[in-house]
Amino acid sequence: DPSGTFVQLRLHLVQTSCGKRTPRRQNCRPLENRRKPTCLACYKFDRGDVPKVLDKYHNCGPSHHLAAKEIRQRDEAECRAVEDAGKATDALYLPGMFAFSKGLQA
């Protein structure tokens, strides 16, 4: 994509027996019947030597939520908007642009 690089990440998280304050351990066991949020992150980077973030979107929500379908649809729409960042820079519309161009033609 000439406008940059789009990255979409979907993570399924689980709570573990390790506490926040304890040193990082590799053998933390998952806790049963706890929250299991699903996180979605979308990023759009420009094409520079040192890529800059053009746009981003993050959302973490429980996987058992009653409105999961609506959340998923909103997430997809937000990620599409992030993916489109930087594509149509020449199609930028500013307030008054149409009226000004029409006035020049008259």
What predicted TM-score, i.e. pTM, was given to this entire model? Answer: 0.60
46-59 in b/e burial notation, b at 16+ Cβ within 10 A?
eeeeeeeebbebeb
pLDDT at residue 88 tops 70: no
Total domains in the fold of the chain = 1
The verdict on residue 97 lying in a domain is no
pLDDT at residue 99 tops 60: no
**Among the listed residues 16, 19, 10, 1, the one whose alpha carbon sits nearest the alpha carbon of residue 84:** 1
Q: Summarize pLDDT for 14-71 with one digit per residue, the tens.
A: 888 887 776 766 788 888 887 778 888 999 998 888 888 888 998 886 655 556 777 7
List the domain range (segments joined by +) for residue 33.
Answer: 5-88
The verdict on residue 44 lying in a domain is yes
The verdict on residue 106 lying in a domain is no
Distance of CA 39 to the CA centre of its chain: 10
The verdict on residue 100 lying in a domain is no
The verdict on residue 12 lying in a domain is yes
The verdict on residue 102 lying in a domain is no
